[in-house]
Amino acid sequence: MLGTAFPAARLLLVEQPLPWGAEGLRTSSFPREVALALEARGRAAGVRVQAFRRPGGRRGTSARRWAFVDTGNASPGLCSGTFTDPAELLEHPLDGSVGVPQDAPLYLVCAHGKHDPCCAQRGRPVITALEALRPGRVWQASHLGGCRFAPTLLALPLGLMYGRVHASAVEQLVAATEKGEVDERWLRGRIGIPPAAQVAVAFAQNQLGHPRSRDISLASTTRVDAATVEVALDTPQGRATVLVRRERVDAVGLTCAAPGPSWFLAHRALSIRLADST
């Protein structure tokens, strides 16, 4: 699963409690023209716009929540607020300068059944387990990408994306998140960095024994050839270099919505070398 987290490091989460169509916010009761304009603003600013909702919905309330998340900094941040008119969000600064800072982690679980039924079916038990453990801190999310890894969970503001999470694993995953650590058993990668870098970071954390999410950061990536990338990382032990290889894998029935022949790109770490190694 490594290397499959999406590339945006910042997110604007918009509460939409009523059902979502296949395209999420823009195919719901949320005004389509506002959703399209909001997504265009987000693309221009490098911000992913995502619909979310509380488990069970919040029908019959005028005030809805928004949240802005920046996972790209050394100290990732999360702030939130409310809106009543969707058009208000078109004037909303996409820089984290407004809203109330949130200290506790937020857990998004993909439950977008209209995009792929597996996401909703497999996500519900994880949502139930999280809600029992951390009530009010779990939200259903529209399509997070990688439906073949359902259920997908995104831990914010760390920006760690997990896949094929079992409900029985939720307690350990939450404990790791609250310590700022990675649970490598279910890890798909850290959002906001390239696929090869996601793989390299996870490999370095495992090989060098640094489970904290922010102990290792990306310095640069260099393409060696068509299939190999050299990833430079900053670690507590100094600069490390990881070689990552990419390959195409043919497959059948990747998701519930796509049962036929398909393919995907897989990434595999080959080696790691510290700067002072001989």
User: CATH classification of 194-274 is 3.40.50, yes or no?
Assistant: no
What would the DSSP string read from start to end of 215-253?
A: SSEEEEEEE-SSSEEEEEEEETTEEEEEEEEEEEEEEE-
Q: Which long-range contacts (CB under 8 A, 24 or more apart) does 224-230 make?
A: 228/270, 229/194, 229/196
Is residue 133 within 8 Å of residue 57, measured between CB atoms?
Answer: no
Cα angle 211, 215, 221 (rounded to 5 degrees) comes to 110
In what helix (H) or strand (E) does residue 187 lie, and over which residues does it extend? strand 187-190
**CB within 8 Å of 201: residues ≥ 6 apart:** 189, 190, 193, 216, 217, 218, 231, 233
Is residue 163 within 8 Å of residue 149, measured between CB atoms?
Answer: yes
**10-178 against 194-274: fold identical:** no
Mean pLDDT of 26-44: 95
Over residues 163-204, the pLDDT tens digits come to 999 999 999 999 999 999 999 999 999 999 999 999 999 999
Q: Longest Cα pair distance anywhere in the chain, in angstroms?
A: 66
Give the chain's mean pLDDT.
93
Mean pLDDT of 148-170: 95
pLDDT at 58: 60
pLDDT at 199: 98
Superfamily of domain 10-178: Glutaredoxin (3.40.30.10)
Over residues 113-145, the pLDDT tens digits come to 888 888 889 999 999 999 999 999 999 999 999
Question: With 60 as the cut, is the pLDDT of residue 59 above it?
Answer: no
Over residues 80-114, the pLDDT tens digits come to 999 999 999 999 999 999 999 999 999 999 998 88
Query: Domain segments of the chain: what residues?
Result: 10-178, 194-274
